[in-house]
Structure 1
Amino acid sequence: MVLTSACTSSSGGEKEKAGPATPPASARPSTATPPDPAETAKAEALSAYKGYWTEMPKALSVRAIEGTDLKRYAAAEALSKAEVSVGNLKRNGRITTGEPVVTNSTVTAAELEKKTPNVSVSSCLDISKWKIVDKQTGEPAPGASSPVSRYVVVSLMERWDGAWKVLKDDLRADQPC
């Protein structure tokens, strides 16, 4: 109410002084530089990488790739390993609970001028809250824990038909983060 009355108050009979007119936005010269295509490509790859790590736990918690968007973000070896993991969980009566936490995702290498552009992404994967449990009892699965819960993961991604996909993950348990 105070802001409205301050903006609309007038002294009535006095003529208000107008400041200098500013040219419309379209008449002003543009000082913004166009986005760097390489940086745009890297940002798109990192966005797809985030999508991959959002969809992977979903697939493992319901023991199915179907009903998730994992195929949108994964292909080749990464998708094949996910399908095998889902099958193993289903066969052994297990599911996953919780989610991994992925931090410090960085494009560490990029070949964007190739026929099939690719990038490598390095990040820290924290699996301390992502557990494999028995589907019936909810108890932790025997032998399902790892001595290292935070480690480096390096992923190879390629752009296929305009979309970035994770092709391969290299989990480096010997490199804690």
Structure 2
Amino acid sequence: MVLACCTAVVLTACSDSSDDDPADKSPRPPATSSASRQPAPSTDPLARDKLAVLRVYELMWEDQAKAYAQTDIKGTQLKRYATKEALGRTMGDLLAMKKEGTATKGAPSHSTKVLSLSPAPKVPRARLQDCLDISSWKTVKKKTGEPQPYPSDQPLRYLTTIDAEKWGKRWMITKITTHGSRTC
């Protein structure tokens, strides 16, 4: 089904010209990701960046779920959270969903952690790992709400690896690698 394709892709888009960190200005409530499990700032000099990159990833997922629910990226801030590398695939997913008359309901849940963070002088980089759980994220027929089943071989929980870079004052998700055969 299309949801299987959708979950393998992370929505990304071109960045805008602002260097502000979207996590600093977001009116949204705190995320429920594993950001709270990262070391406290007093014990880890990189804790602030770790929390910021986890927050940007969570905000991106909130908008990704919104885009797939409406089968359009309008009204989302995906361009603030991620680069365009995966946008082509995502737009393809959204076009296929529109053609098939499907959308999603609910949202995936996450268990995300920072695997590494390199505070390089020019472009700091981070690598995250997420146990993505799509069991509450359903594909439905848009007009009727009729659930569309997952393919029989679709794992409901699997690992993804996320790469991010800090551009100016904000983190951008640059790449997502789905490991569908690695369940968690």
- TM-score scaled by structure 2? 0.70
The match for 2:99 among 79, 88, 91 is 91
Of the three residues 49, 54, 64, the one matched with 1:46 is 54
Structure 2 residue aligned with 1:131:
138
Would you say the 8 A contact 1:154–1:169 is kept in 2? yes
Report the equivalent of 1:100.
108
User: What's the CA shift for 1:80?
Assistant: 3.2
Counterpart residue number, 1:166: 173
- Answer whether contact 1:53 1:102 (CA < 8 A) is retained: no
- 2:83 corresponds to which of 75, 78, 88: 75
Partner amino acid, structure 2, of 1:43: L
The alignment partner of 1:172 has SS state of: strand
Instruction: Report the count of equivalent residues.
Output: 144
Q: 1:167 to 1:40 in 2, by over 3 A?
A: same
Select 1:116's aligned residue among 111, 117, 123. 123
Matched, 1:55 2:50: no
User: Stretches of 4+ moved more than 6 A in 1?
Assistant: none
Could you tell me whether the CA contact under 8 Å between 1:79 and 1:167 is conserved in 2?
Answer: no
Unmatched tracts of structure 1, length 5 or more? 1-32
| Partner AA of 1:134 in structure 2 | K
Cα distance in structure 2, aligned partners of 1:101 and 1:142: 19
Give the direction of change, closer, same or farther, for the CA distance of 1:146–1:140 in structure 2 (3 Å limit). farther
Answer yes or no: is the 8 Å Cα contact 1:78–1:166 preserved in 2.
Answer: no
C-alpha separation in 2, matches of 1:144 and 1:115: 44
Alpha-carbon offset, residue 34 of structure 1: 6.6
CA contact (8 A) 1:64 1:86 kept: yes
Change (3 A) 1:85 1:145: farther
C-alpha distance after superposition, 1:156-176 (max 9, x if no partner): 111123211111111111111
Quote the Cα distance in structure 1 between the aligned partners of 2:136 and 2:42. Answer: 41
Q: Which structure 2 residues correspond to residues 147-158 of structure 1 after superposition, within 5 A?
A: 147-158=154-165
Higher Rg of the two aligned structures: 1
Letter in structure 2 aligned against 1:157 = A
Q: Give yes or no for contact 1:56–1:82 (8 Å, CA) kept in 2.
A: no
Helix, strand or coil: the match of 1:84? helix
Distance 1:130 1:46 in 2: 21
- Amino-acid identity (%): 34
CA contact (8 A) 1:46 1:107 kept: yes
Q: Cα RMSD (Å) of the superposition?
A: 2.1
Structure 2, unaligned stretches of length 5 or more?
1-40
